[in-house]
Amino acid sequence: MSWDISESPDLAACHALRREVFIEEQGIAEPDEWDDLDDQAVHLLATIDGVPVGTARLLTDGSTGKIGRICVVKSQRGTGLGAALVREGIDRLSAMEGIETIRLGAQQYAIGFYEKLGFAVCGPVYDDAGIPHSDMERPV
């Protein structure tokens, strides 16, 4: 089974995935999940036969590209889809002029996953919506 990952204007599909994973599964409060950055982000949407199964959003801040809100539905975890979403984000941000570093905020349990994709922890553990995170980055 393979997926298609593309830039998507379908914010409703991305929000539905984030609601399922972050709010319903992980118990993140709605006000912590929704912010004013969605309007300025590029949203990646992964689908299988047209059905949304994963998403991530890309933002830029000066010379830093940011990958965030990475989520994959339970049925697709362990398939490589999460890594494919992150790699797609890396590729897209790396192609943008002036981007030198790519950063993300990793839940503690996922640090090893991101290290395999070239990221290194670059700051202390902090609380984000009640979940311990660390910032991680990699050069372009």
Per the rule left: phi > 0, alpha: psi between -120 and 50, beta: everything else, 139 is: beta
Report the C-alpha gap between 138 and 94 in whole angstroms: 11
CATH classification at residue 45: 3.40.630.30
From residue 108, how far is each of 49, 64, 129 by CA, in Å? 32, 22, 13
Domain extent for 111:
4-139
pLDDT at position 2: 85
- The residue written with tokens 């204007």 in the block is 9
Total domain count for the chain? 1
Report the C-alpha gap between 104 and 91 in whole angstroms: 14
Contact 109, 138 (CB under 8 A): no
Q: For the chain, 140 residues long, give each residue's pLDDT as a single digit of tens.
A: 589 999 999 999 999 999 999 999 999 999 999 999 999 999 999 999 999 999 999 999 999 999 999 999 999 999 999 999 999 999 999 999 999 999 999 999 999 999 999 999 999 999 999 999 999 999 99
Q: Give the DSSP H or E segment for 11.
A: helix 11-18
Backbone angles phi, psi at 57, to 5 degrees: -125, 145
Tokens of 109: 């349990």
Question: What pTM was estimated for this model as a whole?
Answer: 0.94
